[in-house]
Amino acid sequence: MKKKLQFLLFPFLLWGCTDNIRFGTGTMEAYVPVYAQAGNLDDIAVETPKAIEKPGKVYVIGNLLLQNDINKGVHLIDISNRNQPRKISFLRVPFSTEISVKNQYLYVNNFNDLLVFDLNNPQNPILVKRLNNVFPYHNSEYPPATNVFFECVDHSKGIVVDWKLELVKDPKCRR
């Protein structure tokens, strides 16, 4: 009889322990989409060296080290003196997440396009080819985690290229 009573009371105990945060009301940490406009994809340029913000893959070609800065671009670093690496330039490639190298060519994604750069002059990489829509559309409708609250995607704001955690008041979506 005691076990039956515990079994019947268990759901009520769970219900009694919940609070409003469980239902997405109030201010809480939730994922927020990062949007890009299609025009931003063409904003490619060689810039002066800068600090690495979100490090990604690293490749080495001889004395040149390439470091992807996720969603920002690629850092070109001279490592001929291994004790004192020297940043040469920064190749701004918006929404880049992957890089690869073969011979003197850098292959980098620009959202769903593939860009090929000639690296013979690391201070001034030259775009030699753009292949449009090489990578399939990445479904970014949902954040990278599950069982989390998030701000619902608004397609009128652009393409979702990333997600970040922020404090959100009354998030409406959950995954």
- Dist CA 85 CA 155 (whole Å): 43
Q: Is the pTM of this model over 0.75?
A: no
pLDDT digits (tens, 9 = 90+) for 74-119: 999 999 999 999 999 999 999 898 999 999 999 999 988 999 999 9
The neighbour count for residue 121, using CB atoms within 10 Å, is 12
Q: What's the CA gap between 98 and 42, in Å, rounded? A: 17
Q: Would you state the pLDDT for residue 14?
A: 47
Q: State the pLDDT confidence band at 29, using cuts at 50, 70 and 90.
A: very high
pLDDT of residue 175: 85
Where along the chain do its domains lie? 20-36+137-174, 40-131
Write the pLDDT tens digit of every residue in 138-160: 667 899 899 999 999 998 888 88
Architecture of domain 40-131: Beta Barrel (2.40)
pLDDT in tens, 120-142: 999 999 999 999 989 876 667 89
79 vs 66, 83, 88, 147, CA distance in Å? 10, 8, 10, 43
